[in-house]
Amino acid sequence: MTRFVFSVFLTTLLTAGAGADDLSKLVESALGRAGKNASELRKAIDKAPDEQKEGVRFLVAYMPKRDLTSLSADFLLNNVRGAYKAWNKAPWKERISKEMFLNDVLPYANINERRDDWREDFYKRFSPLIAKAKTPSEAAIIINEKISATLKVRFSRKRPKADQSPYESMKAGLASCTGLSVLMVDACRSVGIPTRFAGTPLWTNKSGNHSWVEIWDGDWHYTGAAEPVGGRLDRAWFTQRATTAQKDHRLHAIYAVSFKPTGLMFPLVWDRTIDYVHAVNVTERYAKPAESKPAPKGSPEMDVEASMHAVDQLEKHLQSERSKRPELGKQEFASVSLTRKDSDRAASLLWSDHAARIRKTRAAEMKARVLTDGEVKMPFFYSVTGKPPKGGRSLYISLHGGGGAPKRVNDSQWNNQKRLYGVPEGVYVAPRAPTDAWNMWHKPHIDVLFDRLIENLIVFEGVDPNRVYVLGYSAGGDGVYRLAPRMADRWAAASMMAGHPGNASALNLRNTPFSIHVGARDGAYKRNKVAREWADKLAALQKADPKGYIHWAPLYKGFGHWLNRKDGAAIPWMAKYSRDPLPKRIVWRQDKHVRFYWLAVKEAKPGAVVRAVLKEQTINLPQCETKQLTIRLSDKMLDLDKPVVVTSKGKKLHNARAVRTIGTLSKTLIERGDPKSVFSAEITVTPPE
């Protein structure tokens, strides 16, 4: 006969017909198994006041052998004394039967945790908090809301072990759902609330085990430990999942712990050899369709509890060692529909984790002042001036001239650029072009390196992502002509000095103020003539779209290629503007970038134009020269609890609520490392040809 089967057989014999007359026999049997510790247990029974003797005898009769052979008389007497004191003072005493008090208030332990003498300590901590509570439910809700702060313990997978005792969890400051459930049960019992440990060894979707607590108030009710939900019991993130539990499946059933033997054991997944934790199979109370609850207006498919739990799971995920984390986007919780509040919380958690990673992994490159993309390296100089504004510092990326020239020439131009412009406030960066080619500032690696530079400075210097500016002189001006439109959704404004645009298009500058500074006598490569043409193009674009294409194009009379610092006027002009990362109107002429403001494509089609207009809950696409288009959304743009409508050429392409998910938040943050360009939802549409 196996150890488990024998234990079930034995406890069945012990409990079969066991009434008050049988307790003495059970106590004597237990004392016989207590060995040398029997004298301690007899001392506890003898010294207990008459009204408390039954409590001591109950514990001795049913405690596991590990306790029979180890617990002292003082430990038992302290526990019993405290339990009776709390029960006698509880306003709900008359509603609690003696049998329930003995089995669900009196016990000093839940499962196999270390035996701590917590009763009196917890009574002092929690009884003042529930002084005005009239029912066990009211008191339990208050304790659940305040237990983490009171005991300074939070959930973490970094806890020392699963089956922690109360003081082990308090010492660590961390606990699993099991450790938190032990704390919650003990805290409730300390003030006379009938409470028991509950859980399942394995959810039916194979996502793992879980533990929680049950509270008696006329019937058994459940709640997640240290997981209060709206001041109510019988609500938790696992409510829906519990409905799939299987009563006759040992692993997929739901159990509640009983101190008194029941003939059934609680399957402890952290130690399957333990056979002394008794249980009741309570699956039937859970495995039924969950009662329908009012959903937030406009979002009938949203599960508030699931949303809350998804963010809790994200927090657990981010607390684990980074190198051992599974891919976040593939986790079940990453696709759960979120409430707006939970979406904001998730975004904050993701940004904190992202910033911590940047600080840890990129400190060396910031100290060395060199960024790398493959084999390409970009040294950079930067200085910080002025008092940082409340929203974060400004960032000016200033591109030197030179171009197709020997290295020493470009080095000289870089050194000149370091001191060419002064900014009253902000981070002034002068990068050294990675190559000495004529097109050194508009090669593909520049976009990658600038993205990384901006991302780093947001973290290391507190740069405001909405106050990033780009400017450049001569060959650097060539770069601005191209980079300003190409990366328009990065810049608050851009200024070009003494450069040439080549075949660059101004179309993408609809939301990016652009200034052109050229000497009227700068005839080389027809810079002066082309500057006038670009100014005219911007003026024409602005005439057709009066709220867009802000520009300023002073032509400096009497000046040639060198403007003698007159172009420094660009700094205060740009500083007047901040980027709007969520503009109501977008004009996107694609190059190789697959994302532009709140639009994205799977594969860019160079030269294809997309125009998008957001008005209230509707996005119209008057022009969309791409097979599919992904629209990123956030609650700062529109109300994501209401349907989002997408139209194009009179056809309705979408009319449904867009779902906020952790997966979308994470993906859009990783793409840019820009906390103000993160989106919680996205929809993909196929425009008419």
Q: What is the secondary structure of 292-342 as a DSSP string? A: P-PPPTT-TT--HHHHHHHHHHHHHHHHS-GGGPPPGGGSGGGGS---HHH
Residue that finishes a domain, picked among 575, 600, 630: 575
Q: Is residue 391, in this structure, part of any structural domain at all?
A: yes
CB distance 338 to 305 below 8 Å = no
CA dihedral 510, 511, 515, 516 (to 10 degrees): -30
Q: What is the pLDDT of residue 689?
A: 80
Burial zone of 208 (CB within 10 Å; 0-12 exposed, 13-18 middle, 19+ buried)? exposed
Closest CA to 193 of 181, 184, 202, 201: 184
Distance CA 71, CA 78 (A): 12
Q: What is the pLDDT of residues 453-493, one digit of tens each?
A: 999 999 999 999 999 999 999 999 999 999 999 999 999 99
Give the whole-angstrom CA distance, residue 539 versus residue 531: 12
Per-residue pLDDT, 21? 56
Residue 298 is assigned to a structural domain of this protein: no
User: For residue 652, what are the β-bridge partners?
Assistant: 647
Cα gap 276→4, rounded to integer Å:
9
Structure tokens at 447: 């976009």
Domain contains 65: yes
Complete edge-to-edge strand list for the sheet that includes strand 681-685: 595-596, 599-600, 629-633, 681-685
pLDDT above 70: residue 221: yes
Asked if residues 680 and 338 have their Cβ atoms less than 8 Å apart, the reply is yes
Domain count, the chain: 3
Q: Determine, yes or no, domain membership for 295.
A: no
pLDDT tens-digit series, residues 625-669? 999 999 999 999 999 999 999 999 999 999 999 999 999 999 999
Query: How many C-beta atoms surround the C-beta of residue 449 within 10 A?
Result: 21
596 pLDDT above the threshold of 60: yes
- The sign of the CA dihedral 311, 312, 317, 318 is positive
Same domain, 153 and 263: yes
pLDDT above 80: residue 405? yes
Is 293 inside a domain boundary? no
Tell me how far apart the alpha carbons of residues 429 and 394 are, in angstroms, rounded to a whole number: 11
| Same domain flag for 500 and 622 | no
Q: Using CA atoms, how far apart are residues 465 and 483, in angstroms rounded to an integer? A: 17
394 and 323 part of one domain? no
pLDDT at 7 over 50: no
For the stretch 314-332, what's the b/e string if a residue is b when 16 or more beta carbons lie within 10 angstroms of its beta carbon?
bbbbbbeeeeeeeebeebe
Same domain, 190 and 250: yes
CA–chain centroid gap for 327, Å, is 14
Where do runs of H (alpha helix) occur along 335-389? 340-368
CA–CA separation, 398 vs 410, rounded Å? 14
**Per-residue pLDDT for 419 more than 80?**
yes
* 272 and 337 co-located in one domain: no
Structure tokens at 469: 């500016």
Same domain flag for 380 and 279: no
pLDDT tops 50 at residue 257: yes
**pLDDT class of 302 with cuts at 50, 70, 90:** low
Are 27 and 48 members of one domain?
yes
Q: Is the pLDDT of residue 240 over 90?
A: no
Is 417 in the same domain as 282? Answer: no
**In which element (H, E) is residue 624 found?**
strand 618-624
What is the maximum span of the chain, computed from C-alpha positions, in angstroms?
Answer: 115
Looking at the structure, do residues 585 and 571 belong to the same domain, yes or no? no
Q: Which helix (H) or strand (E) holds 32?
A: helix 20-33
Question: Looking at the whole model, is its pTM more than 0.75?
Answer: no
Does one domain contain both 69 and 212? yes
DSSP state of 229: B
pLDDT category, 303, cuts 50, 70, 90? low
| Residue 684 backbone dihedrals phi, psi, to 5 degrees | -115, 130
Query: pLDDT tens digits, residue range 437-450?
Result: 999 999 999 999 99
| 591 pLDDT more than 50 | yes
Mean pLDDT of 192-200: 97
Q: What is the DSSP letter of 569?
A: G
CA 58 to CA 15: how far, in whole Å? 13
Helix then strand then coil, % of the chain, to nearest 5 = 40, 20, 40
Residue 211, beta-bridge partner list:
199
Give domain status of residue 624, yes or no. yes
Mean pLDDT score across all residues of the chain: 92
Q: Which two tokens stand for residue 431?
A: 């990068």
Candidate from 82-91, 105-114, 148-157, 605-614 with smallest mean pLDDT: 148-157
- Residue pLDDT, tens place only, 39-90: 999 999 999 999 999 999 999 999 999 999 999 999 999 999 999 999 999 9
Whether residue 359 lies inside any domain: the answer is no
Structure tokens of 221? 């009710």
Find the mean pLDDT for residues 184-205: 96
Amino acid of residue 259: F
Give pLDDT, residue 383. 97
The per-residue pLDDT for 6 is 40
Q: Supply 195's token pair.
A: 């409470």
Q: Could you tell me if 172 and 221 lie in one domain?
A: yes
Residue-wise pLDDT for 502-536, tens only, equals: 999 999 999 999 999 999 999 999 999 999 999 99
- Domain residues for the domain of 392 are 369-575
Q: Among 252, 286, 320, give the residue marking a domain's end.
A: 286
Query: What confidence score (pLDDT) does residue 305 get?
Result: 67
Query: Does 190 fall in a domain?
Result: yes
Do residues 96 and 244 both lie within one domain?
A: yes
Task: Return the exposure string of 485-517: e unless at least 16 CB atoms fall within 10 Å of the residue's CB, then b.
Answer: bbbbbbbbbbbbbbbbbeebbbbbbbbbbbbbb
CA 147 to chain centre: 22
pLDDT-derived band at 288, boundaries 50, 70, 90: low
Distance CA 517, CA 497 (A): 5
Residue 486 per-residue DSSP state: H
The DSSP result for 601-630, as a single string, is -SS--TT-EEEEEEETTEEEEEEE-SS-EE
pLDDT value at position 253? Answer: 96
A 10 A CB-CB count for 346 gives 26
**pLDDT band at 157, cuts 50/70/90?**
confident
Tens digits of residue pLDDT in 307-341: 888 898 899 899 888 888 889 988 888 988 999 99
Question: Binning pLDDT at 50, 70 and 90, where does residue 254 land?
Answer: very high
CATH of the domain at 527: 3.40.50.1820
How many of the other CB atoms lie within 10 Å of CB of 8? 19
For residues 665 and 293, the model is more confident at 665
Q: Where are the alpha helices (DSSP H) in 419-502?
A: 444-460, 475-486
Tell me the mean pLDDT in the region 239-259: 94
Over residues 10-39, the pLDDT tens digits come to 444 444 444 555 889 999 999 999 999 999
**What is the percent of the chain where pLDDT is above 70?**
94
484: its two tokens: 């300003």
Of 429, 460, 465, 461, give the one whose Cα is nearest residue 360: 460
Domain stops at, among 575, 592, 613:
575
Tokens encoding 537: 């193009």
Question: What percentage of the chain carries pLDDT values higher than 90?
Answer: 86
